[in-house]
Structure 1
Amino acid sequence: MIDQTPNLVRPAPSEEHVHHPVTVVTGGSRGIGAAIATRLAEGGHHVALGYRSDSDAAEKVAAEVRAAGAACVTVRMDTADEADVDRLFETAAAELGPVTGLVNNAGIGAPVGPLAEADAAAMRRALDVNVLGYLLCARRAVRDMTRTGTGGGIVNISSAAATLGAPGEYVHYAAAKGAVDTMTIGLSKEVAAHGIRVNAVAPGVIWTEFHADPERPAKLAAGIPMGRAGRPGEIAAAVAWLLSDEASYTTGTIMRVAGGR
């Protein structure tokens, strides 16, 4: 468990906060997570931003969220740690109001390379974050949304790798994202009666710091039907729609945003 006092936004909860969606975004300090946080803020969501280590980056994203007119709290945490997950959600509820949304985004791609050369400890850590972390966060979100009776939405960030397999790069990561897809479908059926919708967005190759080789998106562009890698904002737009009232009849869906790949 990471021991750090959350960076809170004052004032304390108000009636105004209660009338806004309150969404938890994990892995929100950079890349796709950062784009999601700011896009949701532009749509009126207050944001609880979970991050692993880079407090400066997290606070920069929080400043962008606040500049968009939303409230924000940042919490340093590890999604694979049950106590940290509980602390993230408890902070969100205490400072912003009842949680109505979750974006499961925190993920690890390493180790990179053929499976035969992969380190077992590194794979175990990746699976803890990419699968167990999603399950722990979703479990807490469902508990909170059910208890408060607010209903809400969960969006899991999957990957096109779940069906492409990522041979030679990270088969273990692709397998984890396959698990995320299965979780999305199963949980959507389990909680639909509680007014909770569960969907996933499966990005293709996106320009972020996720890649061990910074030029990987450019190198893979020729194999993408649209001829380019995607942008974080394009993933954020899909997430924002799935959490909006316009997607009120959408659950159990895995939305592929991968340029045709």
Structure 2
Amino acid sequence: MKMLPRLYRPGDGDVGICFEYAVHEAMNSGDPRVLERMETALKLCNIKRPQPKSILFGIEKTGAVQLIDTAKNILTDESRTLAGKVGQPPKLRSRLNTIAAAFRRPATRAALPYSIRGLWKADLFVGSIATQQWVGTTVKINPAHLEGAAGLRVGIVPTRQGQNDRVRLDDGRGLVICPLHHDADFMQAFYEGWRIVQAFIASDAKVPPERRLPRPVDREICRMLEERREYPAIEVIEDLRIFGQPELLKTVVGEVDRQDLKGATDTSVLVAPLSRKV
């Protein structure tokens, strides 16, 4: 852990990469702040019984490509990627290597079916394990950088003040836009976590001074990390998960009917954590 600030080299894209990881982790850990929004997005992609799961399509700066979560353990030979075009959805597992190669070599992109030729731009594959239907998903910390491409179906961005925060179809980009809320929600937790990590690294893996992190709870997180400076960073992160006690909650997905002012009924997805019964 103590070597982390000495090995880290800050870059302009760091917060965006961390945002991709955070969204991926939130879906697979059952975070209702993200699951509720993604349930709605996948329904707009015609995926039934979504209960979203995420496969992280990680592209390193060196050009090496990895499927961080072992896709072979998640996908089957019948897994398909929904492209939003008429016709049989292309199978995904058999094309993973071609999609990866398309990122490094533009000439390889022509080997992909036209309907998913831009799928190499995906940050995540999000979908349903039950139905093995998946959609290419792009994740952008700056909504202005969101772009559509053949094969991409969902765009995940933070909400912007004064703009539409509904999960909606953007016909211009050909994407289902899934904004994640800020105040007392996922984006606030993400940015607070980002600041804590940046302050910890800038303080040589020690508790930052109070002026840098004024809130005691933020410094307490850094104190827990500093106490483990001599241990491998990955092991420390895994060990600290137990303090979150995720086993005390279970995620329940349900549908809620509501009526607007004109009396029209709208069915929405509700994802909520409930205490487990002992």
TM-score w.r.t. length of structure 2: 0.28
Higher strand share: 2
| Larger Rg, first or second structure (1 or 2) | 2
